Amino acid sequence: MRLGDLTTPALVVDAEALESNLAAMAARWPGETLRPHVKAHKTTALAARQAAHGATGFTCATIREVEGMAAAGLGADLLLANEVLDTRRLGALEDARVTVAVDSPETVEAAAAGGVREVLIDVNVGMPRCGCRPSDAGALADRARAAGLSVRGVMGYEGHLQAWPDPDERAKLTQTAMELLLAAHADVGGDVISGGGTGTSACNPWVTEMQAGSYALMDSAYTAAGVGYVQALHVLGTVVHVSAARPDMPAYAVADVGLKALGMDHGNPSVPGARVWFCSDEHVTFAADDPVRVGDRVLVIPAHVDPTVAYHDRMHVVRDEDVLDTWSVDLRGW
């Protein structure tokens, strides 16, 4: 199959860029020190490539991701880095080691009731989402052990810093966040200090395992933050309309990649060699530096890779104009 044979919009992944990203992160965080986050790509075939580069454990965001990774034979050490209250499906998994994040008495009780055996204490290190106060982590760990759970350690996600524009300030703020996590770990114990992400993977030496995910495919928000990985994923589109310049309007073009094919929470996508005006349900309107024609193919760079991938049921691995493989985005849904 050739690139021109694909129905658009379509996720396409540059094979060489992908392998470059996987190798670069594996060199920085080798073996079990890297716990790639599969929420970024939701694709067991890509997770298998990460395993081939040395990763032995993976991070998941949903029960569905945990189940899918276990079914694919990638369940040696799975962390559900998310609070869940119905853990029965997790406790029923027999061929996987599953660790669940807990941050409250309720999530501890849910984990124990569902048959989960191992947990990490999730600590809020500055991002107002989940996680207990650092000062509460020790007591929560004691409660978990009293409920029969094994506490492996702590986790804390400095998500608010991942795309911080100034790298020096990002590093300083990351240290501040990790000081909170280390204080909690002193009270909790265990071998694991888990956290980090693509944006802080080069400036967070305090964790024992890195939860980076977006580095494999990348997006324009992370590229703008200068995190050191190359764009591997694009949404392939087809130009469906071209409008010539008028006295009241410059020339523009429209491709069939819109809101329903792109994660838009980080802003508009990018089109190389063009200025994106806006997106609508099924279209992106842009002004190209060089003339384009109806039927031309364009590569659209999403601003946020994770939700973009979740809109699609497959991604195509390509080299130049050749489609080398097609991978199911098989971890979608809940």
Domain ranges of the chain: 3-10+230-328, 15-217
150-172 mean pLDDT: 97
pLDDT of residue 299: 98
Instruction: Name residues whose C-beta falls within 8 Å of residue 334's C-beta, 6 or more positions apart in sequence.
Output: 62, 63, 64
Task: Tell me the whole-structure pTM to 2 decimals.
Answer: 0.96
167-186 mean pLDDT: 98
Q: How confident is the model at residue 30 (pLDDT cuts 50, 70, 90)?
A: very high
Give me the chain's average pLDDT, please.
97
Give residue-wise pLDDT tens across range 271-330: 999 999 999 999 999 999 999 999 999 999 999 999 999 999 999 999 999 999 999 999
In the chain, what are the helix, strand and coil shares in percent, each to the nearest 5?
A: 35, 25, 40
DSSP symbol at 259:
G
Paired with 315 in beta bridges are: 11, 327
Give residue-wise pLDDT tens across range 109-125: 999 999 999 999 999 99
Q: How confident is the model at residue 179 (pLDDT cuts 50, 70, 90)?
A: very high
Q: What percent of the chain has pLDDT over 70?
A: 100
Residue 178 CA to residue 180 CA, distance in Å, equals 5
Give residue-wise pLDDT tens across range 192-216: 999 999 999 999 999 999 999 999 9
pLDDT of residue 155: 98
Are the CB atoms for 195 and 175 separated by under 8 Å? Answer: no
Q: Which fold has domain 3-10+230-328?
A: Lyase, Ornithine Decarboxylase; Chain A, domain 1 (2.40.37)
Q: What percent of the chain has pLDDT over 90?
A: 99
CATH 3.20.20.10 fits 15-217, yes or no: yes
> ω before 9 within 30° of 0 (cis)?
yes
The owner of tokens 């658009």 is 8
Residue 315 CA to residue 187 CA, distance in Å, equals 44
pLDDT of residue 290: 95
